[in-house]
Every structure is written in C-alpha cells, then in structure tokens.
Amino acid sequence: MTTRARVAIVTGAARGIGAAIAERLARDGCDLALLDLDSQACAQTAAAVRAAGRRAEAITVNVADEASVARAAAEVQDALGPPAVLVNNAGVLREKTLSKMTLEDWQLVQDVNLCGAFLMCRAVQGAMKQAGHGRIVNLSSIAALGAFGQANYAAAKAGLIGFTRALALELGRNGITANAVAPGFVATAMTEGVAERMGMDFDAMVAEAVKDIPAGRPGEPEDIANAVSFFADARAGFVNGQVLYVAGGPRG
C-alpha cells in the first residue's frame, strides 16, 4: 500500500524565501499548495516542485481577505487533500519612520503579515485536528526585536511570535505544533526593493548589513528553508512554541 505524501501549504510562494521553502519541502517528500497573489509567478516554483516528483498547485489568494483564504483552503483540499503543514510566509514591507507612516502603511502590514497568518491557521486547523497531526510554521523576523523605520513590520512580526506561542498551547493536545522562524538579513527581491525605495545601492546595503552578522555573509533563502524543514518534519513533534532566529549570530 502506497503512503500518500503529506500536503504542505506555503503562502507567498512565488519567489524568494517562499519558493525556497516550497522546493525544500518537496525534496522532503511533500506535495505543495503554492499560495500567492501572483499565481502566474508561482509557475516556476510549481515546475521545480514537480521536477522533484511531487504534486503542485498554484492558487491565487489574498491572505488578508477572509473569503479569499476560505476559497483557497477549499481548493487545496479538493486538489491535493487535507493539509498537514502550513507555512505562513506571505509578507509585505512599508518602511517609514513613525512621523511619516500613514494608517494605510500600518494597516496593510498588519493585515498581510499578522492577520493573514491568523486567517490561514484558522482555515486549516480543523483538518489538522481531524487528522490528529499538523505542523504550523510562521515566518517572523529579527525585526520583532525592533527595527528603525519599521514600526509596523516590527509590531506584526512580534505579534506573530505571541500568536505562535498561543497556538502551541491551544493546539498541542491535537498533535499540532506551532513554531516560528525569524530570519535575519536575507538577500531577496524584497530586500532589493527596500534598497530601491531608500535610494541605496543594494550591494552597499548588503555590505553594511554583513558588518553586524558574525557569520560574515547575508542569509540566503535556502538557510530559512532548512529551518522550516526542521519544524515541519514529522519527527519534530516535541518541539512546540519555539522561535528559531536564523540570522548568522545570536539573537533574541
């Protein structure tokens, strides 16, 4: 009898860290639901997952919208089966100092980074409870410890840590673990966008960031994917409510 692969959902899976996580989980033997606002951009991620011999579905979703999340969760169930792993990676940045930050800047970051994780967890927890097993991994950030010009992002990422720990307490009895990965500086399209908005050369930004990283290099998406893989593994059932800083040095 063939054992069916675990189904993993990764939000923000079109590129960068999300794509790397999806590809790593595919190598770990998972089938992947790739959720993103830009489903076309997920095509390359889906192709990489299929090249690893796993099933993949690219699904358009706005994680900040309750109805959109409900539809996406139903699509995952219909196309791949009940999810065993959920990785909340979708996120946005709107960096400004407090005096320049608008309510829209604040609310958008909370809606996508924090509310999106809440909506996704709520949408899949029923299936995980029914199965008596589940892995939830939320992507926080070292910004949760405080970041200049990112009060909105820092608040959302710190909120994710508290949310994760609360989930661990609530869902642990159902065989569901909830943990968080908090990346440090990672060279991605998102951080390139920050440099562009700041009018700064990206290579110069990387060089400046590396000065504060004991490992002497910026993070790569695969570094984060490896940490997520650990938390998502079926053997990590006694690791719950934890935050792993993947930042090239001690944090927290």
- Using the 8-state DSSP alphabet, how is residue 6 labeled? P
Whole-number pLDDT of residue 204: 80
Q: Are 121 and 206 in a shared domain?
A: no
Specify burial of residue 220 (Cβ count, 10 A radius: 0-12, 13-18, 19+): middle
Structure tokens at 131: 């199965």
Separation CA 53–CA 123 (nearest Å): 27
Give the pLDDT mean for 17-21.
97
Q: What is the mean pLDDT of the chain?
A: 93
Burial of 113 (0-12, 13-18, 19+ CB in 10 A): buried
Within a domain: residue 250? no
Are residue 115 and residue 199 in the same domain, yes or no? no
Using left for φ > 0, alpha for ψ between -120 and 50, and beta otherwise, residue 248 falls in left
**Same domain for 132 and 204?**
no
Burial class (CB in 10 A: 0-12, 13-18, 19+), 3: exposed
Q: What is the pLDDT of residue 2?
A: 44
Domain count, the chain: 2
CATH of the domain at 148: 3.40.50.720
Show the CA angle centred on residue 119, arms to residues 53 and 24, nearest 5°. 25
Q: Is 214 contained in some domain?
A: yes
Same domain (yes/no): 163, 69: yes
Q: What is the pLDDT of residue 1?
A: 35
Instruction: Name the percent of the chain lying above pLDDT 70.
Output: 99
What pLDDT, on a 0 to 100 scale, did the predictor assign at position 246?
A: 96
Q: Are residues 139 and 237 in the same domain?
A: yes
Residue span of the structural domain in which 199 resides: 188-218
Instruction: Tell me the catalytic residues.
Output: 153
pLDDT mean over 215-231: 94
In order of 73, 131, 139, 143, the CA distances from 246 in angstroms are 29, 30, 11, 12
pLDDT tens sequence across 188-208? 777 777 777 777 787 887 887
207 and 163, same structural domain? no
Categorize the per-residue pLDDT at 3 as very low, low, confident or very high, splitting at 50, 70 and 90. Answer: low
Edge-to-edge strand ranges of the sheet holding 134-139? 56-60, 31-36, 7-11, 83-88, 134-139, 176-183, 243-246
Instruction: Indicate whether 249 belongs to any domain.
Output: no
pLDDT tens per residue, range 91-122: 999 999 999 999 999 999 999 999 999 999 99
Q: Please check whether residues 213 and 237 belong to one and the same domain.
A: no
pLDDT exceeds cutoff 90 at 46? yes
Q: Is residue 2 part of a domain?
A: no
> Within this chain, do residues 128 and 23 fall inside the same structural domain, yes or no?
yes
What are the tens digits of pLDDT across the range 238-250? 999 999 999 988 8
Tell me, yes or no, whether 117 and 148 share the same domain: yes
> Do the beta carbons of residue 232 and residue 25 sit within 8 Å?
yes
Which tokens in the block code for residue 215? Answer: 């490992």
pLDDT on residue 26:
97
Distance CA 126, CA 92 (A): 27
pLDDT at position 202:
78
91 and 146 both lie in a single domain: yes
Same domain membership, residue 167 and residue 101: yes
Residues 84 and 198 in one domain: no
